[in-house]
């Protein structure tokens, strides 16, 4: 990680509805939001990179006065991905995670899916 990226790190605390807020030192890498007119729900997603080269995903959904907030810290060690939500952690083999992503995206077996190399490039770009 370059010196500018290290200097850009700040203390971040993300409120989480499970009662276990996620606190880390990092920087915002990207964010997006969209509005579903049918349900009246606004969704915001933020991706952070931590000073220990992990990624933190923050999702806030709101409709009217209701709001749902979730945060997940993701780290990759070898072929295993660790996902932590502030109170619980789970470990998944990278291949199983990719299978879950494929299923959640509704992709069929013959459709393009990001390779490990593509995902590695995205992670490296986030940490640059």
Order the strands of the 41-50 sheet from edge to edge.
Answer: 10-14, 22-36, 41-50, 55-63, 66-77, 80-84, 89-93
- The pLDDT value recorded for residue 21 is 86
Domain boundaries, the chain: 3-127
pLDDT in tens, the chain (128 residues): 555 555 689 999 998 888 888 899 999 999 999 999 998 999 999 999 999 989 999 999 999 889 999 999 999 888 888 988 888 888 988 777 777 766 666 655 555 555 555 555 555 555 44
* Predicted TM-score (pTM) of this structure: 0.72
């Amino acid at each position: 990680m370059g010196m500018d990226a290290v200097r850009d790190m700040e203390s971040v605390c993300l409120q989480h509805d499970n009662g276990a807020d996620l606190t880390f030192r990092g920087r915002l890498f990207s964010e997006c939001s969209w509005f579903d007119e049918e349900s009246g729900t606004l969704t915001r997603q933020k991706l952070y990179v931590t000073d220990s080269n992990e990624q933190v995903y923050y999702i806030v959904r709101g409709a009217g006065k209701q709001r749902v907030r979730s945060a997940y810290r993701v780290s990759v060690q070898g072929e295993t991905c660790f996902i932590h939500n502030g109170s619980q952690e789970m470990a998944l083999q990278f291949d199983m995670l990719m299978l879950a992503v494929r299923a959640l995206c509704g992709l069929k077996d013959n459709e393009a899916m990001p390779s490990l190399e593509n995902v590695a490039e995205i992670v490296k770009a986030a940490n640059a």
